[in-house]
Amino acid sequence: MTTDLGNGASAEGVEIRKLDRVVIRFAGDSGDGMQLTGDRFTSEAAAFGNDLATLPNFPAEIRAPQGTLPGVSSFQLHFADYDILTPGDRPDVLVAMNPAALKANIGDLPHGGTLIVNTDEFTKRNLTKVGYDGDPLEDGSLDAYQVHKVAMATLTIGALEHTGLGKKDAERAKNMFALGLLSWMYHRPTEGTERFLREKFARKPEIAEANVLAFRAGWNYGETTESFAVTFEVAPAKLPLGTYRQITGNTALAYGIVAAGQRAELPVVLGTYPITPASDILHELSKHKHFGITTLQAEDEIAGIGAALGASYGGALGVTSTSGPGIALKSETIGLAVMTELPLVIIDVQRGGPSTGLPTKTEQADLLQAMFGRNGESPVPVVAPQSPADCFDAALDAVRIALTYRTPVLLLSDGAIANGSEPWLIPDVDSLPDLRVDFATEPNGPDGAFWPYLRDQETLARAWAVPGTPGLQHRIGGLEKADGTGNISYDPANHDFMVRLRQRKVDGIEVPDVVVDDPSGQARVLVVGWGSSYGPIGAAARRVRKQGMPVAHAHLRHLNPFPKNLGDVLSRYERVIVPEMNLGQLALLLRAKYLVDAISYTKVQGLPFKAEELQDVLTDVIKGVPA
């Protein structure tokens, strides 16, 4: 709930109410520019110094039929004067640009919430299209909300009358009108948006000017009409000291790869194939060739990872990016990387499955695929970021493991993290880990030859000699290797030994202990999560604690191998609950490995958990623990 922090009054007599946090949802047709509108409001909030989290939600179709329910696109933004963990369960303010957007989203708006409607789209035809018998703006069905009816299209066209722009073009700027109005309501800075618009449309100055005018018209509309009696202020958040920027998960992940290449002093080769929701990683990395990054858009998923592995064989940092369906196609090459023990980073931005599933929606159901989705005993380390900004650190860690242990590593992001954004405390470049590798340059075998499968005794990493190194010519491949020499071997005992050795290598990977968040130290219930559920679980835990019930939260960055202290942590609590956006994949692993009677709470609706529902789940579990 939004807390009212007291009132004031502006010079114009409009009341100013101070809030600690607000959730706004912009909803419209997928052609209405809702993602851009939300993105700009986010930038304004970030520039103002709020903490924030966002949740874009859009259809897989690029332009679904106009005005229909499947065509509704929305962007939810949560901003606050304290550190927040989620994009918010329910909006306090819903902006609905058409009847479809209203119908699809009104169910999430709590009674008493603010509803801003673009009345121009509420024609009989549009209402019928989405199944409204009457006009909800007139029939009293919205009486529970504070409704503001604004003829946004008409007002925008009016504001642009003198620009010479056609009606149709002028009307397209109505999303900026909405942004201007909301910016006025929440006292947001406007310079950034005006600058952004002028840059975005630099080649079409008349369009840039139209958007700026529409934006100002929205602002002025709020200020001059009397329909808005109250405006709101959300003060800057007290975050840890430092310099921040706003960042999405896919961008942070791409930056993590760039940084890893720099810290490893290796060229990066991204071999990949476009797939939602991972393509932005390719788009981002393709901009940064001056960091020694080559991006190769291959003919398919298999060729993408093949090229990445070939580059790794040549001594580059090979990376491939995809989503679940792509992982299915890449499995055989991941197996080859396991066998040839070459470093490789495989990014899986998870989406709803199986098969094509829900391309634009989020899910965490690829965990078992990442763990076991290959033929034979084929252990692969698995690393998962927990929030958009955390993708940067997770990417660096994935590269550390890949290079140190000469192994493919699966990096499991998801759609919510990928497209969601939050403020990021920008790290000092010198504080980033040193990832340089030692390539083999001399023969190492007892016979004076080079043995590619002799290992570092501590890490069990094999010697890595790249083509071009004199005297170390050798052959590797997918057939079983003799221990040490790496020659083909069909020897039964050797195969048994090598299968166990590859497993031991991955089991022995150094990962930090999992940290338990239990401020009171009194918790008897532990909630364990991984990946993007960090926000809702953390927010739910805070709410539960506010109710006077202690609860502990442990969030796993490393799914394979698990942190060494995890078994001990699990055994300290009377109940362990594992919420997941799948049917209990982590719970299955925890039960199998630690014999812990973990309770699985699962949901697969393509959307993140709501803090509210997890609060209820945790409360039930805590109350169920005998005193």
Residues 22-61 that bind other proteins (CB under 8 A): 43, 46-47, 49
Interface with other proteins (CB under 8 A), residue from 112, 240, 446, 492: 240
Smaller CB separation from other proteins, 14 or 239 = 239
Which residue, among 283, 321, 317, has the nearest Cα to 301 in the 3D structure? 321
Using CB under 8 A as the binding rule, whether residue 472 contacts other proteins is answered as: yes
Which residues are paired to 528 by β-bridges? 554
- Please say which residue, 337 or 622, places its beta carbon nearer to other proteins: 337
Using CA atoms, how far apart are residues 133 and 126, in angstroms rounded to an integer? 11
Q: How far from chain centre, in Å, is Cα 371?
A: 20
166-169, Cβ contacts within 8 angstroms, sequence gap of 24 or more: 169/207, 169/210
Q: Which of residues 109-138 bind other proteins (CB under 8 A)?
A: none
Size of the site for other proteins (CB under 8 A): 71
CA nearest 585: which of 600, 565, 567?
A: 600
What minimum distance in Å lies between the beta carbon of 17 and other proteins? 24
> Residue 215's closest CA among 187, 183, 167, 189?
183
Shortest Å, Cβ 46 to other proteins? 7
Q: Which residue's CB is nearer to other proteins, number 41 or number 255?
A: 255
239 φ, ψ (degrees, to nearest 5): -100, 165
Nearest residue to 25 via CA among 37, 17, 11:
37
Please report whether residue 563 would count as binding other proteins according to CB under 8 A: no
Closest separation in Å from C-beta 587 to other proteins: 34
Q: Which of 238, 500, 504, 593 binds other proteins (CB under 8 A)?
A: 238
Give the x-and-dash track for 137-176 against other proteins (CB under 8 A).
----------------------------------------
What would the x/- binding string for other proteins be over residues 191 to 210, using CB under 8 A? Answer: -x------------------
Q: Quick check: 271 binds other proteins (CB under 8 A)?
A: yes
Q: Which region, judged by CB under 8 A, interacts with other proteins, from 102-110, 160-168, 243-251, 351-359?
A: 243-251
Among 181, 208, 282, 296, binds other proteins (CB under 8 A): 296
> Is 457 among the residues that bind other proteins (CB under 8 A)?
no
Taking CB under 8 A as the binding criterion, the range among 223-231, 282-290, 512-520, 547-555 that sits at the site for other proteins is 282-290
Residue whose CB is less far from other proteins, 85 or 259: 259
Provide the minimum distance between the beta carbon of 85 and other proteins in the complex, in angstroms, as a whole number.
18
Task: Based on the shown chain and the rule CB under 8 A, indicate whether residue 313 belongs to the binding site for other proteins.
Answer: yes
Nearer to other proteins, 274 or 314 (CB): 314
Residue span binding other proteins (CB under 8 A) among the ranges 120-128, 241-249, 407-415, 575-583: 241-249
Query: Binding other proteins by CB under 8 A: which of 147, 239, 358, 454?
Result: 239
CA distance 135 to 140: 9
* Shortest spacing between CB 52 and other proteins, in angstroms: 12
- In the complex, minimum distance from the CB of residue 498 to other proteins, in angstroms, rounded to a whole number: 16
**CB of residue 298 to other proteins, shortest distance in Å:** 7
Shortest separation between residue 231's beta carbon and other proteins, angstroms: 22
Q: Which residue has the tokens 């290598």?
A: 505
> How many other CB atoms sit within 10 Å of the CB of residue 555?
21
Q: Omega into 343 within 30° of 0, i.e. cis?
A: no
Contact between 315 and other proteins by CB under 8 A: the answer reads yes
User: In this complex, which beta carbon is closest to other proteins, that of residue 98 or of residue 295?
Assistant: 295
Q: Which residues 344-373 are close enough to bind other proteins by CB under 8 A?
A: none
**Residue 532 phi, psi (nearest 5):** -70, -5
130 neighbors 180 (Cβ within 8 angstroms): no
Nearest approach, Cβ of 452 to other proteins (angstroms)? Answer: 10
Please answer whether residues 579 and 532 qualify as being in contact, where contact means their C-beta atoms are separated by less than 8 angstroms: no
Q: What is the DSSP string of 153-214?
A: HHHHHHHTGGGT--HHHHHTTHHHHHHHHHHHHTT---HHHHHHHHHHTTT-HHHHHHHHHH
- Based on the shown chain and the rule CB under 8 A, indicate whether residue 467 belongs to the binding site for other proteins: yes
**Cα atoms in the 13 Å half-sphere on the side-chain side of 40:** 27
Tell whether residue 450 is a contact of other proteins (CB under 8 A). Answer: no
The yes or no reply on residue 298 touching other proteins (CB under 8 A) is yes
Q: What pairing do the DSSP bridges indicate for beta strands 146-150 and 114-118?
A: parallel
Classify residue 164 as left (phi > 0), alpha (psi -120 to 50) or beta. Answer: left
Phi and psi at 222, nearest 5°, equal -60, -45
State how far the Cα of 479 lies from the Cα of 486, in Å rounded to an integer: 10
**Which 488-547 residues touch other proteins, going by CB under 8 A?**
488
584 binds other proteins (CB under 8 A): no
Round to whole Å and give the CA distance between 112 and 91.
Answer: 11
Question: Which amino acid would we find at residue 63?
Answer: R
By CB under 8 A, residue 234 contacts other proteins: no
d(CA 313, CA 463): 12
CA-nearest of 190, 47, 25 to 113 is 25
Pick the closer one to other proteins by CB: 143 or 430: 430
Which positions from 372 through 411 interact with other proteins, judged by CB under 8 A? none
291 binds other proteins (CB under 8 A): yes
Q: Least Å distance between CB 468 and other proteins?
A: 5
Let me know: does 511 contact 558? Beta carbons within 8 Å. yes
**Residue 488: CB minimum distance to other proteins, A:** 7
Q: Which residues neighbour 164 within 8 Å (Cβ) at sequence distance 6 or greater?
A: 206
441 near other proteins (CB under 8 A) = no
Structural element, H or E, at residue 344: strand 344-350
**Segment 326-345, which members bind other proteins (CB under 8 A)?**
332-333, 336, 340
Residue 258 within binding range of other proteins, rule CB under 8 A: yes
Distance in Å, CB of 174 to other proteins, minimum: 25
Answer whether 556's CB lies under 8 Å from 384's CB.
Answer: yes
Scanning 69-77, 84-92, 234-242, 493-501 for contacts with other proteins by CB under 8 A, the matching segment is: 234-242
Report the alpha-carbon angle 60-65-68, nearest 5: 95
